[in-house]
Amino acid sequence: MDDAVLKNAAETAWTVYRARHPEVDLFDSRRCLLERHLLRRREERESDAEELASFGIAYLCRLPRDEC
């Protein structure tokens, strides 16, 4: 899988998450956590951008808001 797929998945997940949580700043630290999480997922198994984005959205929703 190339970096474009990972970047697209991260951007999609982040856009969907911020649409649901407009109080989250564009440069929130969760963005970095998301990218690292998706990179690990990609290394563990082959996934397409859509599947990675779904994993990313689920990951962001599980993050405690007070720890970010």
Domain spans of the chain, in order of start? 3-67
Predicted local confidence at residue 67, as pLDDT: 57
pLDDT at 32 over 80: yes
24 band by pLDDT with thresholds 50, 70 and 90: very high
| 0.75 exceeded by pTM | yes
Count the Cβ atoms, other than its own, within 10 Å of residue 21. Answer: 13
What number is the average pLDDT over the span 40-64? Answer: 90
Please give the residue that has the higher pLDDT: either 67 or 66.
Answer: 66
Count the Cβ atoms, other than its own, within 10 Å of residue 51. Answer: 14
> Exposed, middle or buried by CB within 10 Å (0-12, 13-18, 19+), for 1?
middle
